[in-house]
Amino acid sequence: MRLIIMGPPGAGKGTQAAVLAGAIGVTHISTGDIFRLNVSNATPLGVQAKAFMDAGEYVPDDLTNSMVRDRLSKSDCGAGFLLDGYPRTLEQVGELDSMLEGAGGCVDKVVELIVDVDEVVNRLVKRSADQGRSDDGEGVIRRRLEVYFEATAPLTELYEKRGLLVRVSGMGAVEDVSGRVLEALGVNA
């Protein structure tokens, strides 16, 4: 199964992707986690990505696409994967399509987590207090939400037109959200 999970910052993509990938038996690929690992190891990619992330902006498409292309070529993606946080722009959708076509495949389902804006802000403010992530300050959160609604939210319509989109409420307890997503995907966990 080749899955994508989408939703605004703080919707719980990373939280749910970890649960779902385990339940379904596919590899979880979080572009945010890969960038953060590169930032903490001060790799050339991390050095380039950090300024964008700290400002609440997207990392440029060319850097992001080549990172994902490399990750999807690894053998652990052969049985399927769950992309968390990618694609986020129209250009990334086109790149992903060409990567998968090249391997004779396509995306099977796209899950969109729907969460109130007030709730995502509360979650990110709480995460900022708990973890001190450099992109969770209040001004940066606001910018990340703007970028999401401008660049990424419209992509869900594209996947809806392709008949791949399932919309699931991301409100409530983590396990309740996981149950709803698995049910929407027709997976018995």
Q: Which residues are catalytic?
A: 13, 88, 127, 133, 144
Give phi and psi for 43, each to the nearest 5. Answer: -75, 165
Cβ 106 to ligand B4P shortest distance, Å: 19
According to the binding rule CB under 6 A, does residue 180 interact with ligand B4P? Answer: no
According to the binding rule CB under 6 A, does residue 26 interact with ligand B4P? Answer: no
According to the binding rule CB under 6 A, does residue 72 interact with ligand B4P? Answer: no
Cβ 86 to ligand B4P shortest distance, Å: 4
Stretch that binds ligand B4P, among 71-79, 81-89, 97-105, 158-166 (CB under 6 A): 81-89
CA contacts within 13 A on the Cβ side of 13? 24
According to the binding rule CB under 6 A, does residue 81 interact with ligand B4P? Answer: no
According to the binding rule CB under 6 A, does residue 82 interact with ligand B4P? Answer: no
CA–CA gap between residue 156 and residue 56 (Å, rounded): 21
Segment 85 to 144, residues that bind ligand B4P, using CB under 6 A:
85-86, 88, 92, 123, 127, 135, 144
CA–CA gap between residue 131 and residue 142 (Å, rounded): 18
Q: Which residues bind ligand B4P (CB under 6 A)?
A: 7, 9-15, 30-32, 35, 52-53, 58-59, 64, 85-86, 88, 92, 123, 127, 135, 144, 173-174, 177
